[in-house]
Homo-oligomer: A and B are copies of this chain.
Amino acid sequence: MPKYSIIVEYIGTNYSGSQVQPGEKTIQSELDKALCTLTRSTVKSDDSGSSYKVKTIFSGRTDAGVHSKGQVVHFELKKPIVASRFLNSLNGLLPDDISVKSIQEVEDSFHAQISAKYRRYQYKIVNRKQRSVWDGHSLLVREPLDIERMNKALSYLIGVHDFTSFKSMRATNPAKDCIVYKAFCSKKDDEIIFEIVANRFLYNMVRTIVGTLLLIEHNKFEPEFMKEVLDAKDRTKAGPTISPDGLTLMEVGYDDYKETK
């Protein structure tokens, strides 16, 4: 059966995360519904009679309220499709806050989750006194943040570490080691973009790292506090799990990570 991978974008605000959960509206449940409608009509038209339920595999789950510009999903179809027409129909069926950017046929060996070499996330902080209707999906922090101190704190996270301190205690996956390739804040006017790239992320990890960064800034702790939290391997030492609204999955990479800027 031909196998496809798609890049799925979404505004996560109105969803209970990406993965199917019984009784909840999720990105996957909406995508599956649209794909099912699409392929059912295909099946009907070739008179094969039997219906085929498309099974989607995501590169990984995103929490409730987290957004995507680069979620990768693969699935198999009963027969080849015309990419542009398929995309048009799929985007027509999906709700306004989910869209599919591109589709490509992939090798049989491709697996959206297992083949992935890295994930890249961004967290957007707006650092000014007043809110603006143009802030978009972000976190407003009114007290001035010191980008150099934040980057010093983040530097301790780069490399291979046990990230237990930044992992939700509700996590069921026993994994705890991650390779962090990049963890860096850049500032433009009053917008701070925190970008983090790792081979994988634990449950709530990015949001807890941002929460710890803000805890450090708020209390004027030394940047080394981040290292103490990391070394403690104890979730209670880290800051709070911050709002998901500023967080966006930007890219899933299937080649080795190379920093470009």
Contact = CB atoms under 8 A, between A and B. Distances in A.
A133 B99 contact: yes
How many identical chains are in the complex? Answer: 2
B133 A96 contact: yes
Contacts of A84: 129
Nearest to A92: B131
Contact of A88 (B69, B88, B91, B129): B129
A75 B49 CA distance: 71
Contacts of A202: none
A9 interface: yes
Contact of A131 (B91, B131, B132, B136): B91
Interface string A27-38: 000000000000
Contact of A132 (B88, B99, B130): B99
Interface string A71-89: 0000000000000100110
Task: Kindly name the residue among A84, A88, A130, A132 whose own CB sees the greatest number of chain B CB atoms within 10 A.
Answer: A130
Interface of A: 9-11, 69, 84, 87-88, 91, 96-101, 129-134, 136
A84 B129 CA distance: 9
Nearest to A100: B130
A245 to B, nearest CB: 13
Contacts of A132: 9, 99, 101
A109 to B, nearest CB: 28
Task: Kindly name the residue among A84, A96, A101 whose own CB sees the greatest number of chain B CB atoms within 10 A.
Answer: A101
B69 A134 contact: yes
A91 B9 CA distance: 31
Contact of A99 (B11, B96, B97, B130): B130
A82 B84 CA distance: 57
A133 B98 contact: yes
Nearest to A12: B133
A136 B131 CA distance: 18
A133 B87 contact: no
A110 to B, nearest CB: 22
Contacts of A87: 129-130
Contacts of A11: 133
Nearest to A132: B99
